Structure 1
Amino acid sequence: MIEPNPKADLLLYLQSARDTLLWKLDGLSEYDIRRPLTPTGTNLLGLVKHVAVVEFGYFGETFGRPVFDAADAADVPAWYGDGAEANADMWATADESRDEIVGLYHRAWEHSDSTVAALPLTAVGHVAWWPEERREVTLHRILIHVIADTTRHAGHADIVRELVDGAVGMREGNDNMPPGDRVWWESYRSQLEDVARVAGNG
């Protein structure tokens, strides 16, 4: 009989979402990983930077384990914290390299995983940026919240990557897509367009 291990299960799903998100950068130019491809500016490298910030906050400040020293202004990046410009964590400047942002995300993983290892799932933390009546949380709840958030952004990245070069897939080694060449997909998309037009004119 397999013994349940909720913490290991949660970390497995979180790591899977992390890996999927980073995979979406593979093989793209500096321009393509930064291109804003939605009206609100969604871009691949910005998504990675954002989820790093998410982990720093939820597994750091929430449980009294901050990554940056708030008392030392030089230690706190301009894009982090209350004084940051709106959406500063959703894009990388021209001076911030891909390696720097990916390294930042890896640093977030290490810090988050150390928090999970150090605390029981029942450990209580406080999310200062949530409404007061919801601020008290457990590590278990925060793990679920961050898994949901990371998976959501991995889905955004999947669509953005498809808009860049047509590449799709759930994760490396398992695209989870039905077989079909370019002609099949064009025919499939055309069929959906026809159905949408008929429904729209009904």
Structure 2
Amino acid sequence: MTSEKELLLRELDEIQQSLLWKVEGLGDDELRRPMTPTGTNLIGIVKHLTGITYGYLVAAFGQERAADELTSELDDEELLFGLDLWATPEESVAGLVEAYRRACAAGARTIAELDLDTTGTHHTGSTVTLREMVHTVLLDTTRHTGHADVVRELTDGRVGGRPDDPMSPDDPEYLRMYRARITGEIDRATWMAYVKSLPDYNPAVWAEFRARNS
């Protein structure tokens, strides 16, 4: 039976790897580019979550962290106005991605080595448990990876939570028909006839799905 700690580690790693996949294969300009009116950009998401992961899963519990990780930015007054949500011209996007990988590894070590009831100190000075902080980081990472999903799709069309995600078809015709169903351009009968015509449509799979959810 999977323990609570094993489950949390697995879920956190899964969403972290999904975010890392979202920034693969893009150039410096694409990673830095603001894609929403509020300035959301891919490397800013990564940078923000690096600070969150280190702060809540490493520093809060007195664990070791790389000496060069975000020390100057975390003390900068501009942090209060969103400095951690975008990369400065002096910061390498490749370096920020690697910093996030190291933060993820450091956070995983904390979770593996300490009991979930271990107490630490939040940056506000309050006492927190490791369990609370794991859930906080998992929640924030999931929220921002959802932002990255949308930004990456707007950037080059990549969709899904991982390579070869079966729930995210990249067939242009399927996506055109799916959008037409959403907007009401086609009705349910037309949509279902199209879906059932697809080569990988398996009636047995859907029958099992309906039986489980009825």
Whether the TM-score (by the shorter chain) exceeds 0.5 is yes
SS across alignment from 1:110:
helix
Shift of 1:175: 4.7
Q: 1:83 aligns with which of 66, 77, 88?
A: 77
* Structure with higher helix content: 2
Q: Is the 8 A contact 2:120 2:127 kept in 1?
A: yes
Give the number of aligned pairs.
Answer: 184
**Distance (whole Å) between structure 2 residues aligned to residue 75 and residue 26 of structure 1:** 21
**Distance (whole Å) between structure 1 residues aligned to residue 39 and residue 131 of structure 2:** 32
1:183 has 2:173 as partner:
yes
Runs of 4+, deviation exceeding 6 Å: none
Q: Which runs of no fewer than 5 residues in structure 2 stay unpaired?
A: 186-214
- TM (norm. structure 2) is 0.76
Q: Is the 8 A contact 2:22 2:149 kept in 1?
A: yes
CA 1:175 to 1:29, structure 2 compared with 1: closer, same or farther past 3 Å?
farther
Aligned runs of 1:157-168 on 2, under 5 Å?
Answer: 157-168=148-159
Q: Which runs of no fewer than 5 residues in structure 1 stay unpaired?
A: 196-202
SS across alignment from 1:167:
coil
Larger radius of gyration: 2
**Distance (whole Å) between structure 2 residues aligned to residue 75 and residue 50 of structure 1:** 12
Give the residue type in structure 2 aligned to 1:189: R
Q: In the alignment, which residue of structure 2 is the partner of 1:34?
A: 32
Aligned runs of 1:1-150 on 2, under 5 Å?
Answer: 2=1, 4-65=2-63, 67=65, 77-81=71-75, 83-85=77-79, 86-129=81-124, 135-150=126-141
CA 1:75 to 1:51, structure 2 compared with 1: closer, same or farther past 3 Å?
closer
Q: In the alignment, which residue of structure 1 is the partner of 2:189?
A: none
Kindly report the root-mean-square deviation, in angstroms, between the aligned alpha carbons of the 2 structures: 2.4
